[in-house]
Structure 1
């Protein structure tokens, strides 16, 4: 997080000189761009640092035969569940509603029950949200564009 702290320190004085309305517009634009970036990472089945997600575990033979045709987290990346919010103080991209718990379990690789009454399963860590170098550069460009106006 030292890189983010250095980034924050460099631009905080310039950002504080903007009006609250201008800061809100800038934060909303950054949040929307970040959400699009996070959605693309989830679609490509990769963590923000570029490493691929761990594949699903193989199911026991008594289940359905054949491969799972859906990609992981297809619904999570939709705008219904992945919200982008910006106000005069911050920009946020977060999961909403009941999917927050599921996203947290997969993001950190926690234990959870796959179904009600089922046994607990240890999930692999699959980071869903985070900053990449490209995201930080995009934020810098967006801030510079708003400061130039």
Structure 2
């Protein structure tokens, strides 16, 4: 995966250098929105970037609603999943307390369930990452923008 990303970066870097900064910024904003939308859809589908399903949530005894609760229902919202873009870079990231929660799941770290609660090792669930379809989408957007 990282080899594909590095190859895409090398290939696109030379082409992007030929664009004016305003055109690069406009392209980067479009790409950032598309990447965030794609990440949100993948989180909703509860899938890692490689297509495998997230590790299942541990059952809770005090679950009052009955039935299943989708993981990361609020975390995938745009107010938590921020995007930053300028002429030179694109970033889709979690900020604040959302970042702490996402980092614990992304890397399978130890964190507390609630403030002052017990420490638990979370299963690894990759919230952010590039899929092959996203890499193709970046390439297609770049080629389409350069063709105009």
Range of TM-score over shorter length: over 0.9
TM-score w.r.t. the length of structure 1 is 0.93
Distance 2:122 2:59 in 1: 13
Q: 1:66 to 1:84 in 2, by over 3 A?
A: closer
Q: Where do 5+ consecutive residues of structure 2 fail to align?
A: none
Q: Residue 68 of structure 1: CA displacement?
A: 4.9
Q: Where do 5+ consecutive residues of structure 1 fail to align?
A: none
Deviation digits for residues 9-33 of structure 1 (CA, Å, limit 9, x no counterpart): 1121111010000000011110100
1:27 aligns with 2:37: no
Q: Residue 147 of structure 1: CA displacement?
A: 0.9
Which residue of the partner structure matches residue 114 of structure 1? Answer: 113
The number of equivalent residue pairs is 147
1:93 aligns with 2:82: no
Distance 2:105 2:85 in 1: 25
Distance 1:78 1:11 in 2: 29
1:6 aligns with 2:7: yes
The SS at the match of 1:32 is helix
Give runs of ≥4 in structure 1 deviating > 2 Å. Answer: 63-70
CA RMSD of aligned residues (A): 1.4
TM-score w.r.t. the length of structure 2 is 0.93
Q: Residue 65 of structure 1: CA displacement?
A: 5.8
Distance 2:9 2:73 in 1: 32
Distance 1:65 1:41 in 2: 27
